[in-house]
Structure 1
Amino acid sequence: MTELTRGYLYGFGAYVCWGFFPLYIKLLRPAGPVEILAHRVVWSVVFVSLVLAALRNWGFLRRLADRPRLVAGIAVAAALLTVNWGTYIYGVNSDRVVETALGYFINPLVVVLFGVAVFRERLRAAQWVALGLGGLAVVVLTVDYGRPPYLALVLAFSFAGYGLAKKRLALPAAEGLFVESTLIAVPALGYLGWLAATGRDTFGHGTGTHTALLVLAGAVTAIPLLMFAGAANRLPMTGLGMLQYLAPILQLGCGVLVFHEPMPPARLAGFALVWLALIVFTIDGLRTGRRRSRAATLARATATEPAAAAR
């Protein structure tokens, strides 16, 4: 098996896991969103600790001790990740899976917007068209919902911000997730302790299956992230970009087909505008990638001609 094939398998596995994640969250009832979030954080630390122990890879902690600015950056990433996880769990538990799927459809467009705002990147005409269609979709969905689709927007902007922070930190997946989860594990443990002290926790008080599912939240969180890291290290950005639409498609299917959430014509029109924006965005990205690849090949061929002539 080639590294490219292995990368596609890792990426497919990661996005399929994320796509069916609403089904898992629904199984965690009657635990509330904040309790689920706290367990997800705490058990993520435990699971990733076991992975790092197996790999005997703890040296990065000594390096972090001498880099307080890096730790501050990780804290920002951890805060954004907490907002994203908490919003997503709340959306699923409040029967708004369709709206959470919208957030991850919008996310690539928000990433482009961040490129303009943060890195002063210049957009091509097709990218401006895609952003315009995305903005129009938000307007249409605002009219349909009677309010802005704020859950979708929070998910899109928090995950794009998390991606931006991770890009600047450049930490491996397991190490990064361990430090991020550890930073937010203290308040998470405090909240779980308060629930236990007041008799409001569901951990250990329901069925054994419910308790086991809460413990497994760490593995369910970490495994797709580790697979995603394996895919990102092996795939070109175009391949990874095409795979990223798999998760929200599956989430939308869960919302409409499994949980029977409504999809009136106006809402469908809003989603159609988002899909059109993503089609424009993807086609432009593929064309640009091919042009750059041809230009790079031509440049290499041109550079080798004088050397060949000299021989």
Structure 2
Amino acid sequence: MDDALKRTKQGVLLAIIAYIMWGIAPIYFKALGDVPPFEILCHRVIWSFIFLAILLYVTKGWQMVKETLRSKTKVIYLLITSITIGINWLVFIWAISIDHMLDASLGYYINPLFNVILGMIFLNEKLRKLQWFAVTLASIGVIVQLVVFGSVPIIAIVLAFSFGIYGLLRKKVNLDAFTGLFIETLVLLPVAFIYLFAFADTATSHLTNNSMSLNVLLISAGIVTTLPLLCFAGAAVRLRLATLGFIQYIGPSLMFLLAVFVYGEAFTPDKIITFAFIWAALVVFTWDGLNNNSNNKRLAAAQRKEALEIEITNETLIQDINDIQTQNNHETK
């Protein structure tokens, strides 16, 4: 029991660290404000690939990479996930660069609700009543912004959609985070190299012309990408999905606070209404998840108790039968 509690505490700590790093990642991308978004994406791909290659070498994970590359189905899935995660990264970096961090935050708030819809459509998962209510609330928030204010939260929708599809396909692949991300960056690597060394012609595209501090920031893209993933992977094997789902709101919440209170993005009426509906939806969604988890625990406990009672009854019957047979044997003698 002590070991289980220790693992849970470690998992919670790792999850919090992971989501805090994801939540404050905009600070890093803001520091690269002079670098074009696609150029940042290319550096993110290249240095993440190198960092992951080193990690796989240290952890002797190359065998898993080889086995994965032999599977045609997994390779096809990873080709698609490479595109979706590339789009997600690019839109996120672009949103930060044009001062739309609130929209990025909204996208990651919507993502858990979008995942529920994807599960219903592609995995035949049934939605409970409160889940339907939560999805309806979120939809109303987006519709109000569209109809009343005439604005479409396109960044939020693209981020939620791309990351949701990415998560769904990665679930289909059933592959560990590091092997999968390594192959995804491997797929994107030629595009990143070709753009940086053949097409990019900006003030920051040539590392030899950059300051040391800027180059260090660009190279750090690999660490910024993979370090939270390391912590998340460690948390995922120690915690229940419900616990991880609750902790994940740290990320977009930190983005929201940074956008409003640090970078001064306007919290306009359309965003206030949309966020209000999304937050209400998440409260309902989280409450339903916790309540369902509690009911499942009670049901499991009741089933264990019933199984134990049946086992005890069976043992008692066997003992009674043995006693009767023993008594009959004595009477026969």
- 1:132-147 to 2 correspondence within 5 Å? 132-143=136-147, 146-147=150-151
Residue 211 of structure 1 and its aligned partner are, at CA, apart by 0.6
- Verify the 8 A CA contact 2:133 2:281 in the aligned structure 1: yes
1:265 paired to 2:269: yes
**How far apart, in 1, do the equivalents of 2:149 and 2:207 lie?**
35
- Verify the 8 A CA contact 2:45 2:192 in the aligned structure 1: yes
The superposition leaves residues 97-155 of structure 1 with CA deviations (integer Å, 9 ceiling, x where unpaired) of: 00110000000110011011112222111111111111111112235763210100000
Residue 279 of structure 2: aligned partner: 275
Residue 210 of structure 1: aligned partner: 214
Name the SS for the 1:20 alignment partner.
helix
**How far apart, in 2, do the equivalents of 1:65 and 1:206 lie?**
37
The superposition leaves residues 270-311 of structure 1 with CA deviations (integer Å, 9 ceiling, x where unpaired) of: 101100000001101111111011101110111111222315
- Verify the 8 A CA contact 1:13 1:227 in the aligned structure 2: yes
Residue 170 of structure 1 and its aligned partner are, at CA, apart by 1.3
Of residues 103, 117, 121, the one that matches 1:117 is 121
Comparing 205-214 with 152-161, greater Cα deviation is found at 205-214
- 1:24-63 to 2 correspondence within 5 Å? 24-63=28-67
- 1:194-209 to 2 correspondence within 5 Å? 194-195=198-199, 201=205, 203-209=207-213
- Verify the 8 A CA contact 1:31 1:202 in the aligned structure 2: no
Name the SS for the 1:136 alignment partner.
helix
Comparing 271-280 with 133-142, greater Cα deviation is found at 133-142
Aligned residue identity for 1:257: F
Name the SS for the 2:109 alignment partner.
helix
**How far apart, in 1, do the equivalents of 2:94 and 2:185 lie?**
19
Residue 221 of structure 1: aligned partner: 225
1:191 paired to 2:195: yes
**How far apart, in 2, do the equivalents of 1:259 and 1:38 lie?**
25
- Verify the 8 A CA contact 2:39 2:200 in the aligned structure 1: no
Aligned residue identity for 2:134: A
**How far apart, in 1, do the equivalents of 2:36 and 2:200 lie?**
14
Aligned residue identity for 2:59: L
Residue 304 of structure 1: aligned partner: 308
Name the SS for the 1:11 alignment partner.
helix
TM-score, normalised via structure 2 length: 0.90
Larger Rg: 2
Name the SS for the 2:87 alignment partner.
helix
The superposition leaves residues 147-187 of structure 1 with CA deviations (integer Å, 9 ceiling, x where unpaired) of: 21010000001111111111111111111111111111111
1:236 paired to 2:240: yes
Residue 88 of structure 1: aligned partner: 92
Residue 198 of structure 1 and its aligned partner are, at CA, apart by 7.6
Aligned residue identity for 1:212: V
Q: CA RMSD in A?
A: 1.6
Residue 27 of structure 1 and its aligned partner are, at CA, apart by 0.7
The superposition leaves residues 161-220 of structure 1 with CA deviations (integer Å, 9 ceiling, x where unpaired) of: 111111111111111111111111111111111245787615332321111000010011
| Residues paired across the two proteins, number | 311
The superposition leaves residues 240-266 of structure 1 with CA deviations (integer Å, 9 ceiling, x where unpaired) of: 011010000000111111110000233
**How far apart, in 2, do the equivalents of 1:24 and 1:144 lie?**
35
**How far apart, in 2, do the equivalents of 1:272 and 1:213 lie?**
36
Of residues 289, 293, 300, the one that matches 1:289 is 293
Tell me: CA distance 1:126–1:43, structure 2 relative to 1, closer, same or farther (3 Å): same
Tell me: CA distance 1:145–1:75, structure 2 relative to 1, closer, same or farther (3 Å): farther
Unaligned runs of 5+ in 2: 317-333
Residue 72 of structure 2: aligned partner: 68
- Verify the 8 A CA contact 2:204 2:210 in the aligned structure 1: no
**How far apart, in 1, do the equivalents of 2:23 and 2:272 lie?**
19
TM-score, normalised via structure 1 length: 0.96
Residue 320 of structure 2: aligned partner: none
Residue 61 of structure 1 and its aligned partner are, at CA, apart by 2.8
Comparing 215-224 with 189-198, greater Cα deviation is found at 189-198
Percent identical pairs in the alignment equals 36
Residue 130 of structure 1: aligned partner: 134
